[in-house]
């Protein structure tokens, strides 16, 4: 049976070509097709609540507000680095709202590294771009997606959301 399913998926299910081919679950457990954001840029960020980079939530929110209408920031909480996102989805959502006023979309907690890596992050870490490919090294790495769903830039954690390195592409 497993072989039949594998063959079916291999032969009849096309691999994703853009970010818009993915569906995610929000932090509230709702299904969300990234197709909803077609025509806008996306900044996809793996986040954590107990990291030295956690204050970037404030800049991510400011970026989201400043470029509303043409950019959507989406946070993906992950506990892959130093156990810095130990909380459940509701705890994470409340933390982000209370401490940083986050209104941009948050996904449910995912894995961004290792054998259980979420499919979206497998796609993003392998996607061609002028910066680099490969595993995410730490929390708050950023993936800038164009209006057609293609990865155009990738940034390591230390690059701040409001830095010219990011905003010049918006």
Q: Answer yes or no: is 94 within a domain.
A: yes
Q: What's the domain range around 62?
A: 17-167
Q: Answer yes or no: is 156 within a domain.
A: yes
Q: Answer yes or no: is 3 within a domain.
A: no
Q: Answer yes or no: is 134 within a domain.
A: yes
User: Which candidate in 19, 27, 51, 151 is catalytic?
Assistant: 51
Number of domains in the chain: 1
Q: Answer yes or no: is 6 within a domain.
A: no
User: Between the CA of residue 110 and those of 11, 24, 83, 133, what are the distances in Å?
Assistant: 28, 10, 13, 19
Q: What is the CATH number of the domain that holds 117?
A: 3.40.30.10
Rounded to 5 degrees, φ, ψ at 155 are -130, 140
Residue 136: which of 151, 155, 149, 110 has the closest Cα?
155
Q: Answer yes or no: is 76 within a domain.
A: yes
User: Between the CA of residue 160 and those of 60, 97, 131, 163, what are the distances in Å?
Assistant: 9, 20, 16, 5
Q: Answer yes or no: is 8 within a domain.
A: no
Q: Does residue 96 carry a catalytic annotation?
A: no
What's this model's pTM, rounded to 2 decimal places?
0.91
Per-residue pLDDT of the chain (170 residues; tens, 9 = 90+): 566 555 555 555 567 789 999 999 999 999 999 999 999 999 999 999 999 999 999 999 999 999 999 999 999 999 999 999 999 999 999 999 999 999 999 999 999 999 999 999 999 999 999 999 999 999 999 999 999 999 999 999 999 999 999 999 99
């Amino acid at each position: 049976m497993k072989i039949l399913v594998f063959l079916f998926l291999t032969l009849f299910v096309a691999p994703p070509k853009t970010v818009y081919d993915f569906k995610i679950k929000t932090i509230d457990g709702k299904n969300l097709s990234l197709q909803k954001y077609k025509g806008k840029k996306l900044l996809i960020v793996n986040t954590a609540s107990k990291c030295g980079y956690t204050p970037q939530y404030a800049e991510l929110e400011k970026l989201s507000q400043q470029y509303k209408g043409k950019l959507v920031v989406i946070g993906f909480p992950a506990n892959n680095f130093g156990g810095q996102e130990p909380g459940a989805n509701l705890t994470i959502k409340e933390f982000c709202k209370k401490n940083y006023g986050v209104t941009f979309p948050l996904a449910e907690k995912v894995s961004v590294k290792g054998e259980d890596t979420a499919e979206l992050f497998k796609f993003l870490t392998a996607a061609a771009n002028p910066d680099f490919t490969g595993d995410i090294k730490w929390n708050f790495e950023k993936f800038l997606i164009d209006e057609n769903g293609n990865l155009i830039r990738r940034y390591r954690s230390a690059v701040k959301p409001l830095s010219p390195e990011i905003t010049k592409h918006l």
